[in-house]
Structure 1
């Protein structure tokens, strides 16, 4: 009997090796963005999904083996938000400051994008990213 073919790899579900390979670079990039946005440790922990403080500080120091998939998803949205802002604003300082400015657009209702992102829900990161991608006229 011939060997059974391997199950096709689903692009929306990274395998273990991919998660291992992505974790370090994802965290390093996240923390660079967090520094550019001047996020407090508490804000960073919220955006990352609320890891325990000890885990967060291990991640911050570079001590990570593999991030959970939901944390990688959250970081992916933050990266997309950062990228969209860099495209929309010619000045990096303006792009970085945008998340803290009140916004009357429907997704924000007069609050800041950061307020929306800090609700703790992955869906709110998605909504901010979707809004910015629409503003720039395209998806990734």
Structure 2
């Protein structure tokens, strides 16, 4: 039986990363589609959606249509990956309505300092997004 983490020639399987442009080109359409849905589900304003993705409002407006074909940057792919993980963790922790509202509610936890999780992640960028993802994974017993 083959071990899924090892390729047939006994080399470890390459972890999915976002540094190779070919990988980003292949994944960008799906990532953008997921992010558009996530932004809508969470009720993000255009400004929030743009800030979480690390782009200007005008760039976000250009990326919103489903027909857009754009290769995202490594930074943008990392942001979408972290936010998708947060979405999944929230939906494992809470009923759908609360899972989608949680990011817009003031939070007194040490990661948030009375900000909403969205505001805290906009302020803290990728490192904070990854911390929120780890926090939610820990809360649900995943770590």
Aligned residues: 130
Partner Cα separation in structure 2 for residue 59 and residue 44 of structure 1 = 11
| 1:76-110: CA deviation from partner (whole Å, max 9, x where unpaired) | 01101000000001x21110001112222111122
1:41 and 2:46 are equivalent in the alignment: yes
CA distance in 2, matches of 1:135, 1:120: 20
- Secondary structure of the 1:121 match is helix
Q: Which runs of 5+ in 2 are unaligned?
A: 1-12
1:66 maps to which residue?
71
Alpha carbons 2:107, 2:114 under 8 Å: kept: yes
Q: Does residue 1:100 correspond to 2:100, yes or no? A: no
1:130 aligns with 2:134: yes
Structure 1: which 5+ residue stretches go unaligned? 1-7
Matches within 5 A, 1:110-129: 110-119=114-123, 121-129=125-133
